Amino acid sequence: MRLRGTRRRTAASMLALVTAGALSLAGCGSSSDNTSDSAGGGASASAGPCGTTKPTTLTVGLYGTFGFKENGLWDAYKKVCPNITIKEDDVEQSADYWTKLKTRLASGSGLDDVQGIEIGFVGDVLANHADQFVNWQTVPNAAADKAEFYPWKWNMATTADGKDTVGLGTDTGPQSICYRADLFKQAGLPTDTATLTKDFSTWDGLLNLGKQYEASKTKPEGSSFIDSVNSIFNAAVYQGTEAYDDDSGQPDVANSDGVKNAWKIATEAAQDKISAGLAQWGPDWNKAFSSGTFAALACPTWMMGYIQGQAGDAGSGKWAVSPVMPGGASNWGGSWLGVPKASKNQPAAIALVEWLSNKGNQVTMWTSPSQGGHWPSNSQAAADPSVSGATSTYFSGDPIGQIYSKIANQMKIPPIGQYDTQIQSDINTQLTNVETKGTSPSSAWSAALNAIKQVTG
């Protein structure tokens, strides 16, 4: 056994030497500066819609599930561009994916031809890595590309000076409130569209419904109105003029109107005791979808798929979607696809990303039953009848296409900063303390600011 190990070790080091030698020789000759943007130059018309006519393998770095493979998009692309082979490179958790991507970006090597960019770290990419990604405002189809998307979705992936766009949108997360219509009825709450449109249009209205639910004598034992006050906070915080950053892009949590307003509503909800105090994404929260421990939660379209996965067939027809979102419109989640300049197949990668974001494919991603609810970032796709007219039997036959279209069209989002994810996580932690441990909002607020200081330095 020792000999085998030695032999492998020798082989590995030989490989290392040879590779290192080859790389250094190659490095001498080629130009590796990123300023010469070959994206525009390479995608000449003669290369065709696939970006190249040569047999090429494209690596696509993704996290969680984008659902491209499951929805047959890779197979479909093979028919459109037979010379392109696609290899997916998945990391399940987007946090791990981001660590890996940061490492790759820092070392300048190991990047895939296409890299997913999630809303959780798009701020950081814009602030620190915009120059390492192909700028979609300079590609040959730039104008056509931009026209496809919701303006707010396009802007979220654009630098503050408006000159650099790092990705084309895939799915996005306009959100409403999903609720258990059967539990509402049992507790004597209204479930008709007209009343809910009025009651759910403001956060105060939601809180009132919550108090009504809690006070009800007929509601199920042990059931609370909302899963966690974080459903409220995270939805409300981006509804102001500022979220976690000030105008110049610096983190400024204490003075933000969005934060202050959202904090006020969330702590009020906590003290009104309308929350089940569950840790979102934890095992108890997962079980609660079928057990009815909460009756409502913040619900982007992809959450509908999650609910169906957790509650199963037994939940069909019990859930419903609110016709409006409190506070107007709000977004949770969403991604883009970017092409690192380090990619050796830029024209082909650009062509792939443009194809994936086109109207037809984004409609496919929505209508496919195997993955839950990818709302298109492509506004033309969203206008397609199969999207805008969609209804859901699982969700009591509600006109989900109409509901979410309206919300997506109304969307206004302040810019996303590079520390947003961590800041929000720290605030969420403190809000959980307020709702489950009776911590006073003021000490929770100082604890949150203290934790945020650890992030921003």
Partner 1 sequence: MTRTKRLRATLDASPLTYVLVLLVAIVSIFPLYYTIVMASHTNAEMAASTPPMLPNGSLFSNIHKALQVAPLNKGLINSIIVSSCITAGTVGLCTLAGFAFAKLRFRGNNVLLAICIGTMMVPTQMGVIPLYMLMAKWGLAGHISSVILPTLVTAFGVFFMRQYISKAVPDELIESAYMDGASTTRVFTSIVVPAVRPAMAVLAMLTFLTAWNDFFWPMITLNSQNPTIQVAFQSLASGFAPQQSIVMAGTLYGTIPVLIVFALLGRQIVGGIMEGAVKG
Partner 2 sequence: MVTITAEPAAGEEISRRRPRRPRARSRGSRIAYVYILPFFVVFAAFSVYPWLDTAWVSLHDVRLSTYDQQTWVGLANYRNLLTNSFFWNAFRNTVTIGIISAVPQLCIALGIAHLLNHKLRGRTFFRVALLMPYATSLAAATVIFIELFDPRTGLIDWALHALHLPRVDWQGSKWPAQFAISSIVMWRWTGYNALIFLAGLQAVDQELYAAAAVDGAGKWAQFRHVTLPGLRPTIIFAIVVSTIGSAQLFGEPLLYSPQHLPDGGTQGQYQTLGLLMYQQGWANDRLGLASATAWTMFVIILLAVLVNLLIARRRQRRA
- Please give the residue ranges that form the binding site for partner 1 (CB under 8 A): 1-2, 4-6, 8-9, 12, 15-16, 19-20, 22-23, 59, 64-65, 87-93, 96, 99-100, 103, 106-110, 112, 283, 286-287, 290-291, 302, 305-306, 308-310, 312, 314, 371-372
Q: Which residue has the tokens 């906590």?
A: 270
- CB under 5 to 8 A by kind: which of partner 2, partner 1, none does 284 bind? partner 2
Quick check: 384 and 363 in contact, CB under 8 A? yes
The residue within the footprint of partner 2, chosen from 155, 371, 425, 441 (CB under 8 A), is 425
5 near partner 2, rule: CB under 8 A: no
- CB of 147 vs partner 1, minimal distance in Å: 30
Contact pick of 95, 142, 160, 449 for partner 2 (by CB under 8 A): 95
Rank residues 11 and 144 by Cβ distance to partner 1 and give the closer one. Answer: 11
250 binds partner 2 (CB under 8 A): no
Q: At what angle do helices 94-107 and 119-128 cross, to 10 degrees?
A: 20
Helix (H, G, I), strand (E, B) or coil at 279: coil
Q: Please give the C-alpha separations between residue 206 and each of 243, 316, 322, in angstroms, as whole numbers.
A: 21, 24, 11
Can residue 137 be called a binding residue for partner 2 (CB under 8 A)?
Answer: no
Nearer to partner 2, 132 or 362 (CB): 132
CB 424 within 8 A of CB 254: no
318 binds partner 2 (CB under 8 A): no
For residue 336, what is the DSSP state? E
Helices and strands, counts by H and E, the chain: 21, 9
CB proximity list for 428: less than 8 A, separation 6 or greater: 230, 233, 234
Q: Of the two residues 76 and 91, which places its CB atom closer to partner 1 in the complex?
A: 91
Q: Which is nearer to partner 2, 176 or 231 (CB)?
A: 231
16 binds, among partner 1, partner 2, none (CB under 5 to 8 A by kind): partner 1
CB-based burial label for 193 (10 Å; 0-12, 13-18, 19+): middle
Provide the Cα torsion 437, 438, 443, 445; round to 10°. 80
The answer to whether 180 touches 295, Cβ cutoff 8 Å, is yes
Options 43-51, 355-363, 366-374, 426-434: segment touching partner 2 (CB under 8 A): 426-434
| Residue from the set 115, 335, 405, 418 that interacts with partner 2 by CB under 8 A | 418
Q: Does 283 contact partner 2 by CB under 8 A?
A: yes
Alpha helix ranges (H) inside 272-327? 283-291, 301-311
Nearest residue (CB) to partner 2, 379 versus 430: 430
- Does residue 234 contact residue 332 with C-beta atoms inside 8 Å? yes
Q: Which does 128 bind (CB under 5 to 8 A by kind): partner 2, partner 1, none?
A: partner 2
Q: Is 392 in the site for partner 2 (CB under 8 A)?
A: no
Report the partner that residue 425 touches, choosing among partner 2, partner 1, none (CB closer than 5 to 8 A by kind). partner 2
Residue 10 engages partner 2 in binding (rule: CB under 8 A)? no
Measured distance CA(434)–CA(389) in Å, rounded: 41
Distances (CA, A) of 437 to 429, 433, 434, 444, 449: 11, 5, 6, 11, 19
Question: Is the CB of 85 or the CB of 410 nearer to partner 1?
Answer: 85
Interface ranges with partner 2 (CB under 8 A): 95, 99, 102-103, 105-106, 124, 127-129, 279-285, 287, 418, 422, 425-426, 429-430, 432-433, 436-437, 450-451, 454-455, 457
